[in-house]
């Protein structure tokens, strides 16, 4: 488990981004962490009720230069045995249903609205996906320092 000062110099943090379906927010967060912080973070994503990677999440990440098209939706149980430094829940449902990771890292809740629930024209829905993508990028850019705050 990480405490106070964080991981030893040169060691990468293992971070799990957890959401309900592992379709959008957690996939984008994993993509950003791999693209921006692979020197400091070993990123994973999963869901408590996985389904698919949403095509609009893939699209808006591609627009930003990050390819998440090879990522797949997985259940958190598929990652059993990995000692995470941090488990970051990105939605309220995942926070309430998150399994316990005994003796492992710090768990925290950082909710982001679900762009899959956006309604309106295609342009309006894409705008919501882009907004969440950009806020997730800002969150990941502050990692790992912002995880202990």
Query: Which of 2, 19, 33, 66 does the annotation list as catalytic?
Result: 19
Query: Which of 7, 36, 49, 98 does the annotation list as catalytic?
Result: 98
**Dihedral of alpha carbons 119, 93, 144, 25, sign:** negative
**Annotated catalytic residue 91:** yes
Which parts of the chain are beta strand (E)?
Answer: 13-19, 41-47, 86-89, 106-109
Query: Which of 91, 94, 132, 136 does the annotation list as catalytic?
Result: 91
**Annotated catalytic residue 51:** no
**CA 84 and chain centroid, separation:** 13
Do residues 76 and 18 touch, judged by C-beta distance below 8 A? yes
Do residues 56 and 129 touch, judged by C-beta distance below 8 A? yes
Active site residues: 19, 91, 98
């Amino acid at each position: 488990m990480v405490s106070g000062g964080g991981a030893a110099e040169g060691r990468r943090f293992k971070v799990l981004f957890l959401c309900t379906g592992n379709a959008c927010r957690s996939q984008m967060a994993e993509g950003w962490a791999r693209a921006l912080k692979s020197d400091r973070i070993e990123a994973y994503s999963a869901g408590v009720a996985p389904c698919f990677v949403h095509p609009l999440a893939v699209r808006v990440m591609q627009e930003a230069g990050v390819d998440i098209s090879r990522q797949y939706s997985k259940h958190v149980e598929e990652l059993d045995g990995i000692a995470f430094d941090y488990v970051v829940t990105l939605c309220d449902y995942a926070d309430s249903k998150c399994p316990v990771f005994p003796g492992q890292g710090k768990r925290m809740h950082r909710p982001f609205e679900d762009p899959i629930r956006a309604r309106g024209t295609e342009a309006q829905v894409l705008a919501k996906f882009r907004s969440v993508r950009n806020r997730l990028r800002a969150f990941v850019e502050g990692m790992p320092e912002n995880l202990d705050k």
